[in-house]
């Protein structure tokens, strides 16, 4: 054979082989048939992870997990309060009525969508569905007295929803628990606590222990499962064993003065009622005027984060030790952030970046480019279609999000879809790669109250540029006009 022709033939067949192999290689990166799902929910965790380059709180376990997963650096929740954010998560939709922007949103509206909720979809398709800790607004899933009695918050979704055994007397007590079974006394109990004792002096260690025991049981069954594990920290009170407070005793940065100032324009500032009303403060100490107290609280928050991080690490280690990681999709998600003095706010319940941006990590077996983060803007409502897609389940047509499979295959994929979030009294915001617009009709002024921030030049949101960039405002308002506009009264802001 002519050598020239021989080289052409070899090249031709090599090309054909490559064309045949590449799709097969890509398919091999998809989850295995009927993968399990481990969904880890964290309460009030802002985007303060070492993996995100933020060193406020030490998070070695989540950082290690991020090196095996896809970290979404710019994930935004739909509503900055626990129950409403989780309503958008399990419903897969933006809030469409006022009650869905407050903590009773799941219980009060589930009759219209509960049978197509995310856990219900898995249950209807042969999965066992389990929920330990806080997955909806009420740990254990009941809404009656002390959250220990019926009715169910999301009936028909879970085969079993429960809280771990422990010294706390009720689900409501463990939600706001102090050391060794102590319950919160509203308006009197401190906003932080540091007991010198073991991790199981506080609730999240009990959640982790129960989760590990449940995974051990699941390892012996053939039925696929969707297992939700809901941790309580770093939600108020910032309470954790003393060793975690000691870890942060000298490493918590102060806020820059300009970042800690109350906005000097009509804004979404609030008086931090959850923090001030539900907790007592020694000798009237106020972090707004007491720099040392502000630093103490920021350190206590970081301690709660690191304590929670250690408990998440126990669950992830058990998943690997039991070899369940080989066919399990793992999600780590937080329901909203928490302002630690930014804008002179101590809490969530606003539409600023630190209230809405939270960690979200996804891992599935055989995923390409593990440890490479995605910088595309994504939303909580994207999780429902993503999990339905990865598990080959029929997603309801009503969903508002889109599958993140493209970003899971290629972390550089960017669809330029903005994130939309909502709060009471018709407040809404849109976040793009560069800008955030917050809009609300100001009844007293008889006009729109607008806040516009440019994160390329002002990551601390210290300058409202709405007046100087009318063209950006018009473009972003046009987006909001296409979105739902749920409204709720101030009375619906019941702190969680």
Sheet (strand 435-442) strand order: 419-422, 428-431, 435-442, 447-454
Task: With CA atoms as reference, report the closest residue to 383 among 429, 333, 454, 348.
Answer: 333
Q: Could you give the strand order of the β-sheet that contains 128-133, starting from the edge strand earlier in sequence?
A: 160-162, 128-133, 225-230, 36-42, 328-334, 360-363, 70-76, 374-379
Asked if 247 contacts 310 with a C-beta cutoff of 8 angstroms, the reply is no
Q: Is residue 82 annotated as a catalytic residue, yes or no?
A: yes
Output helix, strand, coil percentages for the chain, rounded to the nearest 5: 35, 15, 45
Closest of 129, 448, 493, 477 to residue 277, by C-alpha: 493
User: Which residue shows structure tokens 């018009």?
Assistant: 474
CA 331 and chain centroid, separation: 10
> Please, is 4 exposed, middle or buried when counting C-beta atoms within 10 Å of its C-beta (0-12, 13-18, 19+)?
exposed
Question: Can you tell me the distance from the alpha carbon of 477 to that of 488, in angstroms, rounded to the nearest whole number?
Answer: 20
Residues 107, 143: contact at Cβ < 8 Å? yes
DSSP 233-245: TTSSSEE--HHHH
Q: Are the beta carbons of 352 and 392 closer than 8 angstroms?
A: no
Where are the extended beta strands (E) located within 58-212? 70-76, 128-133, 160-162, 192-193
> Does 137 qualify as catalytic in the annotation?
yes
Select which of 137, 245, 349, 354 is catalytic. Answer: 137
Catalytic entry in 56, 82, 270, 349: 82
- 466's tokens: 């709405």
Q: b/e string for 448-463 if b means 16 or more Cβ within 10 A? A: ebbbbbbbeeeebbbe
Report helix, strand or coil for 69.
Answer: coil
- What positions carry a catalytic annotation? 82, 137
């Amino acid at each position: 054979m002519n050598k020239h022709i021989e080289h052409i033939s070899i090249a031709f067949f090599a090309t054909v082989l490559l064309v045949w192999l590449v799709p097969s290689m890509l398919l091999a990166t998809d989850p295995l048939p009927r993968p399990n799902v481990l969904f880890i929910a964290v309460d009030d965790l802002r985007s303060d992870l070492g993996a995100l380059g933020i060193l406020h709180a030490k998070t070695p376990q989540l950082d290690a997990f991020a090196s095996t997963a896809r970290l979404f650096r710019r994930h935004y929740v739909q509503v900055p309060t626990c129950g409403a954010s989780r309503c958008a998560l399990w419903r897969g939709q933006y809030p469409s009525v006022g009650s869905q922007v407050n903590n009773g949103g799941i219980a009060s509206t589930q009759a219209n969508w509960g049978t197509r909720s995310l856990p219900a979809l898995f249950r209807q398709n042969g999965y066992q569905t389990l929920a330990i800790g806080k997955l909806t607004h009420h740990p254990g899933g009941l809404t009656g007295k002390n959250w220990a009695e019926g009715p169910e918050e999301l009936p028909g979704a879970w085969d079993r929803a429960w809280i771990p055994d422990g010294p706390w007397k009720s689900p409501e007590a463990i939600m706001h628990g102090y050391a060794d079974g102590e319950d919160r006394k509203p308006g009197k109990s401190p906003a932080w606590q540091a007991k010198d004792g073991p991790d199981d002096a506080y609730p999240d260690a009990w959640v982790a222990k129960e989760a590990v025991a449940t995974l051990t049981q699941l390892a012996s069954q053939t039925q696929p499962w969707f297992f939700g594990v809901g941790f309580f920290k770093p939600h108020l009170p910032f309470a954790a064993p003393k060793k975690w407070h000691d870890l942060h005793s000298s490493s918590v940065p102060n806020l820059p003065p300009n970042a800690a100032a109350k906005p000097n324009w009509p804004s979404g500032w609030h008086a931090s009622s959850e923090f001030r009303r539900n907790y007592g403060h020694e000798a009237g100490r106020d972090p707004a005027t007491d720099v040392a107290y502000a630093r103490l609280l920021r350190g206590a928050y970081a301690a709660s984060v690191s304590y929670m991080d250690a408990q998440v690490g126990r669950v992830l280690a058990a998943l690997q030790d039991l070899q369940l990681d080989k066919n399990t999709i793992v999600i780590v998600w937080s329901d909203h952030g928490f302002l630690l003095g930014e804008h002179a706010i101590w809490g969530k319940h606003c539409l600023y970046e630190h209230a809405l941006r939270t960690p979200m990590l996804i891992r599935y077996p055989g995923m390409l480019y593990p440890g490479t983060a995605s910088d595309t803007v994504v939303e909580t409502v994207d999780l429902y279609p993503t999990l339905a897609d990865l598990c080959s389940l029929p997603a309801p047509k009503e969903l508002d999000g889109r599958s993140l499979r493209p970003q899971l295959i290629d972390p550089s994929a960017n669809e330029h879809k903005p994130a939309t979030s909502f709060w009471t009294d018709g407040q809404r915001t849109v976040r793009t790669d560069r800008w955030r617009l917050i809009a609300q009709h100001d009844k007293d002024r008889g006009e729109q109250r607008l806040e516009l921030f440019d994160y390329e030049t002002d990551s601390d949101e210290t300058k409202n540029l709405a007046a100087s960039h009318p063209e950006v405002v018009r473009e972003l308002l046009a987006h909001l006009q296409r979105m739902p506009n749920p409204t709720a009264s101030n009375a619906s802001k019941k702190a969680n």
